[in-house]
């Protein structure tokens, strides 16, 4: 399952960090962050509970990039 989320992140390097972080969260098969469109596209692993996984992604991202936002 794939889903796209709107995000807020204010520098390209930070967007890259969010992408790296999101990819390490369990339940995420592949995550891509586009700084230009301010969107995060997440492909979930088989059987993952998307809302719960995204909570984790948000928590992990805010750890590396305190100012970022993800619209869940």
CB-nearer residue toward other proteins: 63 or 71: 63
Burial 28-42 (b: 16+ CB within 10 A, else e): beebebebeebebbb
3 binds other proteins (CB under 8 A): no
Among 1, 3, 6, 13, binds other proteins (CB under 8 A): 13
Shortest separation between residue 39's beta carbon and other proteins, angstroms: 7
Residues 22-61 that bind other proteins (CB under 8 A): 32, 34-39, 41
Find the radius of gyration of the CA atoms of the chain. 11
Give the integer Cα–Cα distance in Å for 71 and 54: 10
């Amino acid at each position: 399952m794939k889903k796209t989320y709107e995000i807020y992140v204010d520098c390209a390097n930070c967007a890259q960090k969010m992408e790296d972080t999101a990819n390490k969260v369990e339940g995420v098969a592949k995550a891509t962050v586009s700084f230009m469109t301010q969107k995060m596209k997440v492909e979930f692993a088989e059987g993952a509970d998307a809302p719960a996984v995204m909570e984790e992604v948000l928590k992990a991202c805010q750890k590396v990039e305190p100012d970022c936002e993800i619209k869940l």
